[in-house]
Structure 1
């Protein structure tokens, strides 16, 4: 059997040989948390029930699923990055898989395939687990590592909305700052767990579960869960691959003990601070602004709470990596401990990520050999200009993420001016902002172009917060406004992002579509006050078609593009203002299947005109799809314009 979707250089190709652009969404954000009981992050929790939770019904109860899949197909998407978590599969305990959930997940995949979606599975995580401020790993992973997650909040080992947020008050709260969850990567719980997961055998050889090193034990179970799910969907050819692990952290690997772990502003944690605090020693940390200037000082773990379980001790302290002096102060005894392997400098890509990618590939390809691997390195490493390692598995995709951090973190956007939060670069006006987006995405594409000599790049996540600009859109909606202009800022931002994606001919899966989203600062996508869903029940409008009802900034993401190309797609561009789309194609007449272009009525409400220049190719227009077939190997420029366009 030929591959349902394959790779040819830096392109995706279908089994007919056509160049395919994957344009999809992440489905869905609240899949990160259990449905039963409801453990969206604004709900206070002590996680004592972590072994008995259920994720069945995430991303949607089966009785509600079909209309949402129909809607996504109607909007022109052809791909789903289908979210699951290690916890969803193996929450009950090591080796205990949730069979009901695996059956449910397989049915979601089947229904997606019935609507023509390509699906790739994302084992999602953010800052390791729900108990450490995010999602992903089961609670028992802390227990086998010797950590007491019930102490994390009191010991300042993690920042949790479930502990710091008061749902009776709602809104934004200083106790849990907006978009602060990412700070957990630098905090003790994450620092320790990621170090053990990726490099336990290197840096903590004495940390064992039975006769097995803790790192080997954790990875074996992670990959076992992935394989268990793979076995349930192996017969579905439209399931085309697996993501390696969403936005992986690297803990203290490659860091000196006194090295700053802060990315942007916040508390200036170092590995030494983290390890000492985890062992119950209060630490004074500088507070940094985004430009790294010191703006204050905070004492963490003032309660002096150790997060190590009885009978466990810090394996790094035990190995003489750090300790306390006679004054009770934490001191580095082997400052370069996390930077050396076999007497040389450790290379995270070569020594950690490449072997991990190959373990993932082996685990899933033992089930089905044709699966693609959608690989991700640490987003911090990518931002620093580090790409993918050599020695990645064959048929690996660059699935890196990209966000306009200014709009994401500050929840603001203006088409008049944008300041890059990382570089300080100022872009003025739409043209410069779009060029800035393209330049940033080009850096990601360059990593794919170098991966295995050239691999496709799929932007695995990008998107915009719908509560931006002081929740202006929600306020207008609440006042009864229903015009598309309500979402003008969001639409403009998405238009510029998709313009950049089109210019680079990238595939993409936008973050996200979530059934439970609400126009509420407390709820949002149901996870840590993020609010990026392109759909919300609060936007249901009985006056519009059911398939469009609930959309947010529909004109920003529902736009024409070449889904599959009879040959090679050379360029595509959509001018939203002029209602004009143009694509240039190098036809391969040996391919006996047409080019297919998605053309949504929402962008061309009065119909379209189509011109092909001098080509004699055959054109068919059925519903929202334009098919163009040529019997000649030639270059074709396809122009599509709205009938009322100038």
Structure 2
């Protein structure tokens, strides 16, 4: 590409505008520099991640923008003895004491290939799924071989400048209640029989229910309204309050469960504390409240809960678990409401108990309900809405969740004080409130967001979307409906803005990273999987990430799953979200794994192979900004990118220097922009910067920008743009 000088505006102060001389790098990079500025730019590895208020920072004080990926969906499942796919069933499924998660997310001999791919795709942080079951499938015994595997895996991340945080992942409590997370022994200490969940409707477990003779299939979130999940979460968070008489070996069930969970992840923290890539620990993925706070046990609120398939009411769930047959409603998808009652059917005609021998319903024991004339009767419909001893309304987050968060954060940070603690509500919900009494050190708000309407119906055409967030809060369906692709973008941008602001309002000026965002690939009757035409999923994901960029948000996509295939998706409950779908052996035949030893190695030609929706997922962004970001936006249609930031003024520089940041290092004034070759390889690029100089190095997929204090006055904004050259744009790299 030719590099041609342009007239320099008078607003840019230079000793001599004539000294603004271009140079052409022999490696096809382009540079345009101002006087007396060092043009040597290198992308060094980030030593640490810190934070200054709500911005993540590197050691130089530069603002970090995190683009992450969840690794991975299949990590919810063990590698042995059960084969680890929820559509597969054999008797080994019930062997929960000899479980191994070694090689989740992938074998070590494949790790370099995957990390090289993720790094070449621009990701700089991994949300690493580690279910409680993977650490402690037998109570009190930690899986040291799995932890050894994790240490080896995370050690490799450092070679690729990848960071990670540990996600104690769960969905609907456990694999044995239709999701993932907690080990099976937690049901045993609560008195529940995992073998009876199918007959009693206590859980819908894909492994045991996936057959042609079963009722219509349900989606896994419906387990949040089932007996097993609701009971376990209620006991975990509030057993001392709502089930004070329920103990195990004389110990409070709440204290037993909570201390076991905390001890397991504190042990993991102690084993990983010397590994630089680990920046912190999440508290718990999407913490559900169980029955806590329900105003009545007569029914579940269809606005805040997914009522689908077999849908017993809370009272019916109690009765079914106690061996009483019940006629329950069966719900199907509908419009404008998500579901409607289709018919009823008798469940548990064999009168099976969901409780282990010698145990009975914990809620019947505590006077919540009883059996009269062989029928279930509610005695205290609002039992979980108020403190039984105090008769005051309960608040799940304030009364139960945050006290646990405080204990967990203290335990993790007692191992390493610099660890971040990532806190989240359920997906799309408001953040918990942190008071002066709560733990504040290194806390991060890590919410999740999905277009729940599109995810549930598995449809997206860009013509109409709904603000589910507003509808759940009582909004009008007309004002919560958006039309056209621009309406989609406006809808998503607004929802994410609300969650971001709510986080600031409730948790203070703390960093935010959306721990999960993503789209299902099997939308529109699996059209893309059948035809390999991913145009609609690309538009869908582009709109989601546009909303993130418009709000300057950090995020981690859900997900990168090496087990994904078109037929069974992520191999977990029918989900198909992975941006990668390609079965790999120990090493791809066309990839020399030894050549992927570092991010500076030449890119293997097939790293994009297996990628899905990469048009939207791979986009320019500025992982390191020498100032405060004002705008970071990619236009997929035009393939144009704009970064605006305000360099730190002298007051801020002094503050950062006092806090120990190396702001006097010349690298502190270097901004780095990831420029994916996926979009820009072998095409001329028009790059413009309002101040300073740029250097584009395509083989490293990086655009460097440097400036000196003399070039930018306090309060000025630096604007950098890049876009493909057109017939109307001259072949220039311009420093205006």
TM-score (norm 1): 0.92
Aligned partner of 1:627 in structure 2 is 704
Give the alignment partner of residue 141 of structure 2, picking from 96, 102, 120: 96
Give the alignment partner of residue 554 of structure 1, picking from 603, 614, 618: 614
Give the alignment partner of residue 79 of structure 2, picking from 35, 42, 56: 35
Distance 1:489 1:312, change over 3 A: same
Give the alignment partner of residue 318 of structure 1, picking from 324, 347, 365: 365
CA contact (8 A) 1:41 1:161 kept: yes
| 1:394-444 CA-partner distances (Å, limit 9, x unpaired) | 221111110112331222211233345673433221110000011111121
Specify the SS of the correspondent of 1:252.
coil
Specify the SS of the correspondent of 1:194.
helix
1:65 aligns with 2:108: no
Specify the SS of the correspondent of 1:124.
coil
Aligned partner of 1:483 in structure 2 is none
Give the alignment partner of residue 78 of structure 1, picking from 124, 132, 137: 124
Specify the SS of the correspondent of 1:257.
coil
CA contact (8 A) 1:392 1:452 kept: no
Give me the whole-angstrom Cα distance separating, in 1, the residues matched to 2:71 and 2:167: 10
1:598 aligns with 2:674: yes
Structure 1: 5+ residue runs without aligned partners?
Answer: 478-485
Specify the SS of the correspondent of 1:603.
helix
Distance 1:587 1:59, change over 3 A: same
Aligned partner of 2:65 in structure 1 is 21
Question: Structure 1 residue 4: deviation in Å?
Answer: 2.0
Aligned partner of 2:465 in structure 1 is 418
Give me the whole-angstrom Cα distance separating, in 2, the residues matched to 1:174 and 1:411: 22
Deviates more, 1:190-199 or 1:582-591: 582-591
Give me the whole-angstrom Cα distance separating, in 2, the residues matched to 1:356 and 1:451: 17
Deviates more, 1:75-84 or 1:229-238: 229-238
1:608 aligns with 2:663: no
Structural mapping, 1:191-210, within 5 Å: 191-210=230-249
Structure 2: 5+ residue runs without aligned partners?
Answer: 1-45, 472-476, 592-603, 654-662, 729-736
Question: Structure 1 residue 270: deviation in Å?
Answer: 3.5
Deviates more, 1:117-126 or 1:424-433: 424-433
Aligned partner of 1:215 in structure 2 is 254
RMSD: 2.3
1:334 aligns with 2:380: yes
Question: Structure 1 residue 175: deviation in Å?
Answer: 4.4
Structural mapping, 1:235-250, within 5 Å: 235-250=274-289
1:50 aligns with 2:64: no
Distance 1:223 1:640, change over 3 A: same
| 1:299-335 CA-partner distances (Å, limit 9, x unpaired) | 333332111111112232122221111x221112222
Structural mapping, 1:467-506, within 5 Å: 467-477=522-532, 486-506=533-553
Give me the whole-angstrom Cα distance separating, in 2, the residues matched to 1:176 and 1:514: 27
Question: Structure 1 residue 124: deviation in Å?
Answer: 0.3
TM-score (norm 2): 0.81
Give me the whole-angstrom Cα distance separating, in 1, the residues matched to 2:109 and 2:582: 16
Give me the whole-angstrom Cα distance separating, in 1, the residues matched to 2:684 and 2:245: 69
CA contact (8 A) 1:398 1:455 kept: yes
1:120 aligns with 2:168: no
Aligned partner of 1:508 in structure 2 is 555
Specify the SS of the correspondent of 1:513.
coil
Give me the whole-angstrom Cα distance separating, in 2, the residues matched to 1:6 and 1:296: 55
Specify the SS of the correspondent of 1:323.
strand
Give me the whole-angstrom Cα distance separating, in 2, the residues matched to 1:386 and 1:468: 29
1:526 aligns with 2:551: no
Deviates more, 1:436-445 or 1:524-533: 436-445
Deviates more, 1:211-220 or 1:408-417: 408-417
Question: Structure 1 residue 626: deviation in Å?
Answer: 1.2
Structural mapping, 1:160-175, within 5 Å: 160-166=205-211, 175=215
CA contact (8 A) 1:165 1:175 kept: no
Give me the whole-angstrom Cα distance separating, in 2, the residues matched to 1:496 and 1:416: 12
Give me the whole-angstrom Cα distance separating, in 2, the residues matched to 1:143 and 1:161: 21
Give the alignment partner of residue 436 of structure 1, picking from 491, 503, 522: 491
Question: Structure 1 residue 265: deviation in Å?
Answer: 3.4
Give me the whole-angstrom Cα distance separating, in 1, the residues matched to 2:300 and 2:439: 30
Aligned partner of 2:41 in structure 1 is none
Distance 1:308 1:118, change over 3 A: same
Aligned partner of 1:406 in structure 2 is 453
Aligned partner of 1:228 in structure 2 is 267
Question: Structure 1 residue 503: deviation in Å?
Answer: 0.6
RCO higher in structure (CA 8 A, sep ≥6): 2
Structural mapping, 1:532-571, within 5 Å: 532-537=577-582, 545-571=605-631
Aligned partner of 1:278 in structure 2 is 321
Give me the whole-angstrom Cα distance separating, in 1, the residues matched to 2:463 and 2:201: 40
Aligned partner of 2:32 in structure 1 is none
Question: Structure 1 residue 500: deviation in Å?
Answer: 0.9
Question: Structure 1 residue 261: deviation in Å?
Answer: 4.8
Give the alignment partner of residue 641 of structure 1, picking from 723, 730, 733: 723
| 1:525-555 CA-partner distances (Å, limit 9, x unpaired) | 0100100100111699979921111101111
Deviates more, 1:220-229 or 1:38-47: 38-47
Give me the whole-angstrom Cα distance separating, in 2, the residues matched to 1:417 and 1:518: 29
1:143 aligns with 2:212: no
Specify the SS of the correspondent of 2:535.
helix
Deviates more, 1:206-215 or 1:118-127: 206-215
Distance 1:541 1:467, change over 3 A: farther
Alignment: residue pair count: 623
Distance 1:573 1:73, change over 3 A: same
Question: Structure 1 residue 237: deviation in Å?
Answer: 2.5
Give the alignment partner of residue 257 of structure 1, picking from 297, 301, 320: 297
CA contact (8 A) 2:174 2:184 kept: yes
Question: Structure 1 residue 392: deviation in Å?
Answer: 4.6
CA contact (8 A) 2:512 2:554 kept: yes
Distance 1:542 1:644, change over 3 A: farther
Structural mapping, 1:286-301, within 5 Å: 286-288=329-331, 290-291=337-338, 293-301=340-348
CA contact (8 A) 2:398 2:432 kept: no
| 1:87-107 CA-partner distances (Å, limit 9, x unpaired) | 00001x211001100110111
CA contact (8 A) 1:517 1:533 kept: yes
Give me the whole-angstrom Cα distance separating, in 2, the residues matched to 1:281 and 1:538: 47
Specify the SS of the correspondent of 1:215.
helix
CA contact (8 A) 1:572 1:582 kept: yes
Specify the SS of the correspondent of 1:551.
coil
CA contact (8 A) 1:321 1:332 kept: yes
Distance 1:421 1:362, change over 3 A: closer
Aligned partner of 2:198 in structure 1 is 153
CA contact (8 A) 2:458 2:522 kept: yes
Aligned partner of 1:482 in structure 2 is none
1:427 aligns with 2:482: yes
